[in-house]
Amino acid sequence: MKKIKSFKLGRYKITEEIGRGSMGVVYLAHDSAIDRVVAVKTIKTDDPNMYMSQEETVEVFLKEAKIAGRLTHRNITAIYDIGEDRGTNFFVMEYVEGDNLEDLITQRKPVPLVEKLRIISDIARTLHYAHMRGVIHRDIKPANIMILKNKEPKIMDFGVARFLTGPIADKIERGRIFGTPHYMSPEQINGGGVDRRSDIFSLGVLAYEFISHGKPFDGKSLQKVLLAIVNSTPAPLTFYDQSLPKELDEIMFHALKKEKEERFSYANQFADALDLLISKMESSSSRSYSKPITYEKLKVIKSLKRNYLFFSDFEEEEIMEIFKLSAREGFKPGEVIFEEGARGNKMFIIIEGQVRIVSRNKAGVDIEISVLSDGDCFGEMAILDNSHRSATAVALEETVVVSINEIVLRITRPELCLKLYKNIASIVAEKLRRADQKMREIFE
């Protein structure tokens, strides 16, 4: 951050400069109306080096705010406001504290491999969210990703993103190349059609660099970098570290295919591949519980069928099959199984022990929701949409659980996963119907 003489833009008091780019400056500011810290991005319209007219520059700037403003996702920087003051156009966004991914890479800060893969997977799923709403980012690179203290990524800077554009924006983009050279896809360089698979290629470049600290396509000049992207095959990740799983090379090369038709079709497929690898790595780690478990499988199965509607119509053989595809994990007393706010793709069945479910209120106090024991399930909502956890689960004593990974189940036994989806969704739908009925009774 750079200290500056404070000034005001609208109701926002500007206090520090926190970033500077080709099109403008980002400031730290205080929103006096609701008393919160925000980031304010301004635009330069009088730069003689700009290739666009003043009108076009403002159009592109406002387009970024409109595009990002239509995306409401915890891993995308939120847009709060847009305005103009004494000839300065600006928009106001969420102030994000954390580490810039570019700094993590250049400074070679130690980050465990599984944590890196989870971050890349989260970025992929966030991109999928944007893609499904018609937004292509077109400039995915480490400098546009912030890593928060809870290890979640935030995608920033939609300055060259594309949505449903009007005639002015179409005129601006015609014949121009957008993006950052090292992270461009071959079709961006060749001026071809850019779509969601172009973002997937850029994310593949980012992932490769994050894991290896080396760029997959490099050169001593811009021309050589662009030629490498179009023509060269990068060294496998195992070239940098032979301990890396070979499956990781397969995933990266799939994302970095020259022809976009050969890449992952959707960003969530990239995320699924990474999450499957994470599951495999975790199942072979020390957390996996290989000690013989002394419990009657039939007793647990009957408990599941009796207590949980989403298992009630499963045959015992089907539940046994789910158990076979799932990992057994052991937790010590006081150990956190998952934290509130963390993204999840697993649900859990307690085999032995007890688990305390707590939620933190606005005052920062943990409120106990329930205590679960043998045969109880928790975390099942993650099966539906890889959602973020609404509570924290902690082992109260030596506890063994069966963890059902939604991605493993969906890919290996899709018919069982679909059955579980439908049953859980039916329960959620029934709860919504009851809530809707209560609201009608209140207001009628």
134/441 Cα distance (integer angstroms): 39
Q: Which helix (H) or strand (E) holds 286?
A: none
User: What is the number of alpha carbons within 13 Å of residue 53 lying toward its C-beta?
Assistant: 6
Coil, strand or helix: which one is 82? strand
Interacting residues of 147 by C-beta distance below 8 A, sequence separation 6+: 98, 99, 100, 101, 104, 119, 153, 154
What is the DSSP secondary structure assignment for residue 14, as one 8-state letter?
E
Q: Match 């990239």 to its residue by tokens.
A: 270
Q: Which residues of 107-132 are buried (b: 16+ CB within 10 A; e: fewer)?
A: eeeebebeebbbbbbbbbbbbbbbbe
Residue 97 carries which side chain, given as an amino acid letter? E
d(CA 33, CA 31): 6
Q: b vs e for 412-427, b when ≥16 Cβ sit within 10 Å of the residue's Cβ?
A: ebeebbebbbebbeee
- Cα 433 to Cα 114, 312, 379, 427, 436, distances in angstroms: 40, 21, 22, 10, 5
108: left (phi > 0), else alpha (psi -120 to 50), else beta? left
- Catalytic position from the list 139, 199, 272, 275: 139
432 three-class SS: helix
Exposed / middle / buried, residue 261 (Cβ in 10 Å: 0-12, 13-18, 19+): exposed
Q: Which amino acid is at 430?
A: E
Number of neighbours of residue 296 by Cβ within 10 angstroms: 8
C-alpha to C-alpha distance for 38 and 255, rounded to whole angstroms: 35
Q: What angle (nearest 5°) sits at the alpha carbon of residue 202, between those of residues 197 and 203?
A: 90
Local structure of 282: helix, strand or coil: helix
Is 139 catalytic? The answer is yes
| Structural element, H or E, at residue 162 | none
Residues 346 and 403: beta-carbon distance below 8 Å? yes
* Residues annotated catalytic, as ranges: 139
